[in-house]
C-alpha cells in the first residue's frame, strides 16, 4: 500500500506564466474546475487554485492509472475534494487525498486507507498589528495548554511561529475529517516533543488512531500532515469513502506506513503529464 502514500509540492513563485501559458494549463481541466479557478480576482490566487487542481488530476492519473477522461473529482458540501474512482481504486482500500496552498507553495497528500489532511502556512509577519495582537484574535481556537505554550514561546517572532505550528496541525486535522467548521478547535489539543512524536487529545481523550507530522518547506513555510481513522470523517465525507471500518491489524498497518517525503514538482511537469494523458495519440 505504500504507493498510495504520496506527497507532492510545487513552488509557484518560480512560475510566471504568460496569459497564453496560463490559459493553456487551465484548458486541461473540466469546465467546472476552470470556473472555480477564474472566480478568483487576483492572479496569485488563480495560480494557487489552478496548480492545486492540476496536482489532483495528475496524482489520480499517475498513481491510480486512471485514464484522464475517466477522472471525476467532486466536492462535499463542506468543499472537500474527493475522487469518484469506482473500480479504478481496487489496489487501495480507501484511497483519498487532500490539497493545500499558502504563500509560495501548493501541496497534495494521499493515503491508501487512512484519512489524510495537509495544510501549508506561510509564517507572515502581520502588517497592521504586532504578532501578539495578531495571535490574540485566534485565542478561542486553542486550549489553555496550547495558549500558554504560544505566549511563552519567547520573542514576538517565536510566538508567531509557535502559533502557526499549532494552527497548521489543527487545520490538517479539520481537513482530514472533511469539516469546514473551525468551531471547537480549542477541544483539539496537540502535544509534542520538540515538534516530533505529535499526538492529539480531543475533549481530553488521547486519540491513538491518529498520527501527525510537521515539517519545514523552506522560505518561512510550514506543512503538516494528519493521518487518521476513516470512522472520524464527517457524515458528508464518509459517504464518499469506500469503507469506514477496518480490522485493527489492517488499520494499524496503514496508520504506521512510512510518511513519504515531499517530492518537488513543477507546473510544467504537471501540464506535460496531463497533456499526454488527455491526448495520448499526439504524444507517441
Q: What is the pLDDT of residues 37-84, one digit of tens each?
A: 999 999 999 999 999 999 999 999 999 999 999 999 999 999 999 998
Summarize the confidence of residues 263-274 as an average pLDDT. 97
Of 35-44, 135-144, 273-282, the range with the lowest mean pLDDT is 273-282
Percent of the chain with pLDDT over 70: 96
Tell whether the model's pLDDT for residue 88 goes beyond 70. no
Mean pLDDT of the chain: 94
pLDDT score at 125: 87
For the stretch 187-205, pLDDT in tens is 999 999 999 999 999 999 9
Band (pLDDT 50/70/90 cuts) for residue 282 is: low
pLDDT score at 283: 56
CB atoms within 10 A of CB 40: 14
Of 55-64, 123-132, 142-151, 228-237, the range with the lowest mean pLDDT is 123-132
Tell whether the model's pLDDT for residue 152 goes beyond 60. yes
User: Quick one: which of 11, 21, 19 has its CA closest to 275?
Assistant: 21
Considering the entire predicted model, what is its pTM? 0.95
Summarize the confidence of residues 202-215 as an average pLDDT. 97
List, in order, residues 6 or more apart from 229 with CB less than 8 Å away.
Answer: 114, 115, 209, 210, 251, 255
The dihedrals phi and psi of 184, each to the nearest 5 degrees, come to 90, 10
Report whether 76 contacts 89 (CB < 8 A). no
Helices and strands in the chain, H and E counts: 9, 12
Q: What is the CATH number of domain 2-283?
A: 3.90.470.20
Q: What is the dihedral of CA 29, 117, 64, 48, to 10 degrees?
A: 20
Tell whether the model's pLDDT for residue 213 goes beyond 80. yes
CA 216 – CA 226 distance, rounded (Å) = 15
pLDDT score at 14: 86
Band (pLDDT 50/70/90 cuts) for residue 104 is: very high
Tell whether the model's pLDDT for residue 87 goes beyond 60. no
Report whether 189 contacts 200 (CB < 8 A). yes
User: Quick one: which of 97, 100, 188, 174 has its CA closest to 141?
Assistant: 188
Summarize the confidence of residues 4-22 as an average pLDDT. 96
Tell whether the model's pLDDT for residue 284 goes beyond 60. no
User: Quick one: which of 122, 115, 100 has its CA closest to 262?
Assistant: 100
Band (pLDDT 50/70/90 cuts) for residue 173 is: very high
Summarize the confidence of residues 205-219 as an average pLDDT. 96
The dihedrals phi and psi of 71, each to the nearest 5 degrees, come to -80, 120
Amino acid at each position: 500500500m505504500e504507493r498510495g502514500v504520496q506527497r507532492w509540492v510545487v513552488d509557484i513563485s518560480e512560475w510566471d506564466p504568460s496569459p497564453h501559458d496560463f490559459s493553456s494549463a487551465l484548458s486541461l481541466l473540466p469546465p467546472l474546475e476552470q470556473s472555480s479557478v477564474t472566480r478568483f480576482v487576483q492572479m496569485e490566487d488563480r495560480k494557487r487554485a489552478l496548480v492545486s487542481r492540476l496536482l489532483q488530476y495528475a496524482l489520480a492519473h499517475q498513481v491510480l492509472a486512471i485514464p484522464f477522461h475517466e477522472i471525476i473529482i467532486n466536492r462535499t458540501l463542506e468543499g472537500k475534494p474527493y475522487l469518484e474512482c469506482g473500480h479504478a481504486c481496487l489496489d487501495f482500500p480507501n484511497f483519498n487525498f487532500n490539497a493545500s496552498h499558502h504563500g509560495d507553495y501548493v501541496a497534495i497528500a494521499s493515503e491508501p486507507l487512512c484519512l489524510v489532511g495537509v495544510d501549508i502556512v506561510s509564517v507572515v509577519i502581520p502588517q497592521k498589528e504586532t504578532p501578539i495582537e495578531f495571535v490574540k484574535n485566534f485565542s478561542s481556537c486553542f486550549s489553555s495548554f496550547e495558549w500558554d505554550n504560544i505566549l511563552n514561546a519567547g520573542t514576538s517572532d517565536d510566538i508567531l511561529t509557535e502559533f502557526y505550528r499549532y494552527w497548521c496541525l489543527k487545520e490538517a486535522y479539520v481537513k482530514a475529517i472533511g469539516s469546514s467548521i473551525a468551531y471547537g478547535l480549542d477541544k483539539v489539543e496537540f502535544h509534542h516533543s520538540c515538534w516530533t512524536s505529535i499526538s492529539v487529545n480531543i475533549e481530553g481523550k488521547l486519540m491513538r488512531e491518529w498520527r501527525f507530522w510537521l515539517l519545514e518547506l523552506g522560505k518561512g513555510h510550514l506543512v503538516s500532515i494528519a493521518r487518521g481513522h476513516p470512522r472520524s470523517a464527517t457524515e458528508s465525507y464518509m459517504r464518499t469513502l469506500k469503507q469506514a471500518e477496518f480490522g485493527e491489524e489492517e488499520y494499524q498497518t496503514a496508520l504506521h506506513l512510512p510518511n513519504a517525503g515531499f517530492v518537488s514538482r513543477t507546473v510544467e511537469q504537471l501540464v506535460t503529464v496531463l497533456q499526454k494523458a488527455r491526448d495520448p495519440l499526439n504524444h507517441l
